[in-house]
């Protein structure tokens, strides 16, 4: 990932932490222990960041999304139950803590009590149950396989929810980091109907609110003033007011947009350009830990 040096690293990280499954261009709250003394000066709030992405978002619905590129925006709109830190550890997010039963067949999550969706509806255990059951039971859901070991979801109380499993399933927490654990507003889904795939407006609890999506042109995300996340000094996140995501499939054009100042952040710069980017005094090249997997998909046509 590359960004203009006139956008400071602190401003960039405050508006977003770019990196695949960690929270691509999202925000990471500071630790829960007492905040350290803040250095002189306070973070600057406001402004717009233009982020050029290698493809447009295909589906804003975490349930149906199958494209990796979608997550660059999903992580801005939606919070998931848990997340991963840069060292690969599962960390609390919408779930403040969790307990696994001795037999490994039940996982109980204790939820944050200070979260609301962008449309104003509350986030609670009933919403978690609704989302997970939607992911499991809806025809065409891309999350079915990821949640296949879940037998049912039980609301213990307003802010406690239990996943009862068919068999012990150690990857469950890792699955809930990504789209299988992202929470959407039932009210927003029901209001949009089949249009939710492209019109997921005010549907998440994340640091940014989706306010506009023009296919193959731009996506506008505006700061969620009520997001629960804070930085390590207790300052409310995110810092920036707006993020405009522009899909540009050509890597050369993405880089040109950076160099002319039309964009502030670019994803997936071509390998051939890395050396020149590192040598450019106006650009900052960042390699951020991420997760990936390789897959082999057999050709099932006759003759193969």
pLDDT tens digits for range 122-157: 999 999 999 999 999 999 999 999 999 999 999 999
pLDDT on residue 31: 55
Measured between alpha carbons, how far is residue 96 from residues 90, 147, 172, 219, 269 in Å? 12, 21, 16, 31, 36
What is the average pLDDT across 26-49? 68
pLDDT on residue 218: 98
Dmax (CA) for the chain in angstroms is 69
User: Tens of pLDDT along 228-287?
Assistant: 999 999 999 999 999 999 999 999 999 999 999 999 999 888 999 999 999 999 999 988
Q: Report the chain's mean pLDDT, rounded to a whole number.
A: 89
Confidence of residue 224 (pLDDT cuts 50, 70, 90): very high
Give 41: exposed, middle or buried? Use CB within 10 Å, 0-12, 13-18, 19+. Answer: exposed
* CATH level 3 topology of 6-30+43-205+223-233+275-285: Dipeptide-binding Protein; domain 1 (3.90.76)
The DSSP secondary-structure symbol of 230 reads: B
Confidence of residue 21 (pLDDT cuts 50, 70, 90): very low
pLDDT on residue 287: 81
Query: For 41, left (φ over 0), alpha (ψ -120 to 50), or beta?
Result: left
Q: Model-level pTM? A: 0.87
CA 119/CA 126 separation, integer angstroms? 17
């Amino acid at each position: 990932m590359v960004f203009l040096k006139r956008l400071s690293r602190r401003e960039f990280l405050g508006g977003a932490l770019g990196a695949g499954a960690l929270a691509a261009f999202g925000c990471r709250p500071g630790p829960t222990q007492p905040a350290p003394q803040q250095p002189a000066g306070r973070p600057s709030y406001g402004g717009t960041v233009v982020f050029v992405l290698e493809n447009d978002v295909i589906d804003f619905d975490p349930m149906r999304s199958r494209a990796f590129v979608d997550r660059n925006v999903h992580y801005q709109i939606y919070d998931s139950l848990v997340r991963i830190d840069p060292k690969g550890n599962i960390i609390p997010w919408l779930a403040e803590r969790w307990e696994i039963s001795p037999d490994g067949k039940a996982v109980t999550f204790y939820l944050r009590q200070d979260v609301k969706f962008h449309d104003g509806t509350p986030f609670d255990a009933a919403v978690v149950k609704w989302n997970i059951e939607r992911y499991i039971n809806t025809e065409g859901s891309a999350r079915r396989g990821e949640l296949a070991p879940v037998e049912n979801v039980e609301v213990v109380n307003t802010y406690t929810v239990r996943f009862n499993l068919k068999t012990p399933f150690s990857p469950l927490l890792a699955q809930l980091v990504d789209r299988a654990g992202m929470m959407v507003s039932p009210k927003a889904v029901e209001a949009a109907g089949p249009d939710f795939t492209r019109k997921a407006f005010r549907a998440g609890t994340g640091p940014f609110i989706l306010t506009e999506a023009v296919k193959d042109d731009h996506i506008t995300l505006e700061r969620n003033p009520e997001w629960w996340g804070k930085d390590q000094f207790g300052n409310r996140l995110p810092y920036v007011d707006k993020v405009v995501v522009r899909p540009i499939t050509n890597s050369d054009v993405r880089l040109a947009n950076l160099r002319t100042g039309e964009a502030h952040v670019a994803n997936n710069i071509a390998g051939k350009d890395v050396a020149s980017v590192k040598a450019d005094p106006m650009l900052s090249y960042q390699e951020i830990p991420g997760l990936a997997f390789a897959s082999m998909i057999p050709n099932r046509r006759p003759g193969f």
